[in-house]
Structure 1
Amino acid sequence: MKAGETVLDLGCGGGIDSFIAAKEAGPTGRVIGVDMTPRMITLARNNANKLETSNVMLKRGHIEQIPQEETTVDLVISNGVIALSEWKHMAFSEIYRVLKPGGRFVISDVVTTSLLPESVRDQTGQWVECVAGAALKSDYLSMIESAGFTDVEILEERSGPEGHEEWRSLLTSLTIRAFKRAQ
């Protein structure tokens, strides 16, 4: 991240990643945190006030319909959120829409190495834990490329959660970077 950039944090929750990004973006940069829940936006606003952060704007919205003008963002970040969406392809298209030409995203998310059993995909609790909504790794990467991104790179890949051997072989955490064409 560079000073002066506009950063969009999808699924900002209480704002932790947004505030870290705000420090990196500096006084000439800005961060837009988006979350779909009013409770998280309120928490993030309270945290922003406590931290006296002036370069963070918080918006309520969905990752499949980002409340941001097109081509206005340098960097999109997101941590464990896209797996929660049933419409991941729409989220990636929206990320592409809001990025400036040459802009990029860095996303960490959960994917699967093989198809999850239907019994797991249908459990509400598994959706909350980002498990049931996790896409196959190959499908996830394909959705990114289908949205128009180039230079898709896996920066980090870790196997599933420690202490949960039944999930370790099925789940992988990826950190991915990709770019919008510079045109």
Structure 2
Amino acid sequence: MKVTPQAIPDVLLVEPRRFGDARGFFSEVWKESALAAAGLAARFVQDNHSFSAQKGVLRGLHFQRPPTAQGKLVRVVRGAILDVAVDIRQGSPTYGRHVAMELSAANWRQLWVPRGFAHGFVTLTEDAEVLYKVDAEYDPATDAGIAWDDPDLAIAWPLPPEGPVLSDKDRKAPRLRDIAPPFPAGFA
């Protein structure tokens, strides 16, 4: 398993090995000891699975405020997405910057999105299935989001001509500058 820090070093690209033969393949997609040795020490408590039928479905940018902030290990088992992690840790040298990575069933990559980041993705194909492990359970009381199209974030979403398919929640999300800092200086 290969683990590579991204432009924001706390965001990690995880590339599990696949071993194939005439029957198909086998892959260890999560191995606690190997990932802990590479700096990703997380205790996962919930697995999430999302399906998007259309190309251009945009989910995000979501996060949970402390004390139930979530780290997420994201992977795609069918189709492809552009996965985005935005640093929203007040005082961070990369505050407001993002990492974007294509994840697909074909490239078998995973992205570690740590606590203190907003997360979202857009589907690049029809029938996209995304699985992600989280290190804190879903908590509607701390669930929040920021606008996917916040111009201060300058995310280059690859969207179809008709624009993204959004939930009402995501359509109404505020800009980052319009919310109280969800993760105070020094949050780790």
Same fold (TM over 0.5): no
Higher relative contact order (CA 8 A, sep 6+): 2
Q: More helix per residue: 1 or 2? A: 1
Question: Could you state the TM-score of these two structures normalised by the residue count of structure 2?
Answer: 0.27
TM-score, structure 1 normalization: 0.27
Which structure has more strand as a fraction of its residues?
2
